[in-house]
Homo-oligomer: A and B are copies of this chain.
Amino acid sequence: MRILTTLLAATAIICVASCGDKVSAPAMQSSTYSGPTFESTLASAKARLQAQMDAPAVIPVPKDPGGGYTHEKHKANSTLIYEAGQLYKLTGEKQYADFAGKLLLAYADVYPQWPLHPAKKEQSPGRMFWQNLNESMFLLNVSQSYAAIKDTLTQEQRDKIETDLLRDMADFLSDGSPETFNKVHNHGTWATAAVGLTGYAIGDDEYVQQALLGLDKSGDAGFLKQMDKLFSPDGYYNEGPYYQRFAMMPFVIFAQEVERNNPELEIFEKRDAILMKAIDATIQQNYGGLFFPINDAIKDKGIATRELVHGVAIAYELTGDKGLLSVAQEQGRFMLTPESRKVSEDISAGKSEPFDYKTIRFGDGEDGTEGALDVLRASKDPQDLVVVAKNTSQGLGHGHFDKMGLLIYDQGKEILRDYGAARFLNVEAKYGGHYLFENNAYAKQTVAHNALVVDETSHFNGDVNVGNQNAPILGTFWDDGDLKITTASIETAYDDVAFDRTVAIIKDQAFENPIIVDLVEAHSETPHQYDLPFHYNGQIIETNFKLAAYKNMRAPLGNKNGYEYLWKVADSKAVDGLSQVTFLLDTRFYTITSSVPQNTDVIFTEVGANDPNFNLRREPAFILRSRKSDGVSYASVFEPHGEYNPTVEFTLESHSRVKSVKHYENGGDELIVIETKSGEVVALGVSGDADEAKPHSVSANGKDMTWTGPYHLFHSVAHTAGAK
């Protein structure tokens, strides 16, 4: 299939029947929350502050880079100042204001004398910290605290703090650091938010205007520009959710203050409510509480992060959407803010409702035209089957080379995995906690993903600049309940190979659970090797070919582009154009049945070769491998089935129901036909044409299968006959 619809708007969603999923029972128990509350958060903050308030203030002269003592001490002080200010605001107890004031004055004593940091980074250096990003974060905290407590200070104290700390720092971050302040980048958001909050705190509108409109107040830079540029129209952030939640913080904190002080700006309405969309998009991009780990992502990072706790509370304040309460329950954390208190109270009052998890396309890029992150959910239940199709653009320097890679989740767990970043955050023994060498060498490479690799070479030959210039071309995104489906293609990942991928979640009574259909096609007129890896999570149970893992030796699968990190564990041949692999994860079986070319190899791998320091996790995969002179087609069915229940000692349906998967073509039209062992037939028609009225026909085994529109699900006969 070639996609004919390059002009199709990236965010178009065609709903044939209804765009909503039918949910019979709410997936989250909302009325029985028993976790932490705002009150318990407040109590522990009080206890924490109490322990600090009696101790003398320690304000060390800046010396260490990130992670070092002076760095961490100033970070900790800014948190103390912030929390003391919030505690004063929430409780009215003057001891907290006094403590915040004492620390602010102590900083005002010394800050003016600090030149650039001795360990300064070359670009965007700070004075208190090695980079001014941390200085922005400091000012964001302390300016909020100052606003809360300034009424408790003498005029003299106010003058001193404003002049020697807040203005000095705000000037340094604005006029003193124009390259950061005026940059459309998340560091710029932090700087403008910090300076703008300072303006509100001390009542100087000049800072506010510079923050909103850039140093020259022209609007070519500044916070409003960043709102226009950093998120796609759907609220997607180019680098992915792991970085999105980091970028969110200054946006929501400052916007809230803008709304309070300049309601006429209607900041939360701007760009079709882009900030609310961004918060929603961040939540939508989680499974089991953790973000989809595309690109450079620490996999443990999820919705419970501070940024998103603030974000959810502010969004709830603005929208009253009770679905956010169930997200807050999952977060299980609260902030020292009135909004967070409200969230906690409403949870305790039993107002939570299930969050509206959606099957949704997030257009990527400033205009939403540079690819998309496509999320297909079998239902609104957040623990149900989910497929993420990474049809996004490269995502800058933190991007991974997996065009149209897949992530699959089910029953609350990763089933087809993305490795995420090779990094142990802040763990000194692991390269100081930075990205490891293996991040570039393995984790970013295409073979580390569930994405097509041609000739053992990564997409764009691993060149991030080329990648940034070439997003996938999107096909139609479609959700009609029993069929949720998306398509994308790319011609620029390889010199003379174009490829496309169609992924669908299908519901049909021939299968006990929803299944996934995955069609990968590559087009070329020259011979190539095509590898399609499936990084499965689980234990191999059975295959339709003879398994014969190497008994006495192992060697790496290749010597470059990430292949050198994979042990070749077994090498088998698909049988008569069919590969079938069943694995078990916890209580459920999963079978991937693939229609493949004759003589396709099925290679089993494990991560761990060329890893002398045990830097990589040991994860298994199998790879479909063909050498073909005229392109390739892999059509796979991913089938969750059965139950392994050792508690009650039964096992159901450990075998796949799929007897065969066949792939038929007619010009640009495709048909995948799935036959079950009991003789039921389910088929999926795919055309590259978005025209809903256009007819298509493919002959399958002598029978013409006809439909209109871009996609069509041919239900099994019993399904068609019976009630849905």
Residues of A within 8 A of B (CB): 29, 32, 34, 298, 300-302, 304-306, 424-430, 433, 539-542, 547-549, 551-556, 567, 569-570, 582, 584, 604, 606, 608-614, 617-618, 620, 644, 646-651, 654-655
A547 lies within 8 A of B614 (CB): yes
Closest B residue to A567 by beta carbon equals B554
Q: Give how many copies assemble into the complex.
A: 2
Q: A34-B34, A541-B430, A582-B429 are in contact. Are A549 and B611 (CB under 8 A)?
A: yes
CA distance A547 to B649 in the complex (A): 43
Asked if A427 contacts B647 (CB within 8 A), the reply is no
Q: How far is the CB of A581 from chain B (nearest CB, A)?
A: 10
A606: which of B553, B570, B618, B644 is its contact (CB, 8 Å)? Answer: B618
Contact A648 B427 (CB under 8 A): no
Beyond A424-B539, A426-B650, A427-B541, list 10 extra A-B contacts (CB 8 Å). A301-B647, A427-B651, A427-B654, A428-B655, A547-B612, A547-B614, A549-B612, A551-B556, A552-B610, A618-B620
Tell me the complex Cα distance, A569–B542, Å: 27
Q: Are B555 and A555 in contact (CB under 8 A)?
A: no
Subset of 13 A-B contacts with CB under 8 Å: A34-B34, A300-B646, A300-B647, A301-B647, A305-B647, A425-B644, A428-B654, A429-B655, A548-B612, A551-B556, A551-B612, A552-B555, A552-B609
Chain B residues within 8 Å of A433, by CB: 651
Across-interface contacts of A298 in B (CB, < 8 A): 646
Chain B residues, Cβ within 8 Å of A32: 32, 34
CA A551 – CA B551 in complex, angstroms?
18
- Which of B425, B542, B549 contacts A651 (CB under 8 A)? B425
Question: Residues of B contacting A647 with CB < 8 Å?
Answer: 300-302, 304-305
The closest CB in chain B to the CB of A648 belongs to: B306
**Interface pair B551/A609, CB less than 8 Å apart:** yes
Within the complex, the shortest CB–CB distance from A289 to chain B, in Å, comes to 10
Which 3 A-B pairs give the minimum distances between C-beta atoms?
Answer: A426-B651, A32-B34, A429-B542
- Return the chain B residue nearest A583 by Cβ: B614
Q: Complex: how many Å from CA A650 to CA B67?
A: 10
Contacts of A608 in B (CB 8 A): 549, 569, 606
Q: What's the nearest-Cβ distance from chain B to residue A559, in Å? A: 9
Contacts of A425 in B (CB 8 A): 644, 646, 649, 651
- Chain B nearest CB, measured from A290 CB (Å): 10
- Chain B residues within an 8 Å CB radius of A611: 549, 551
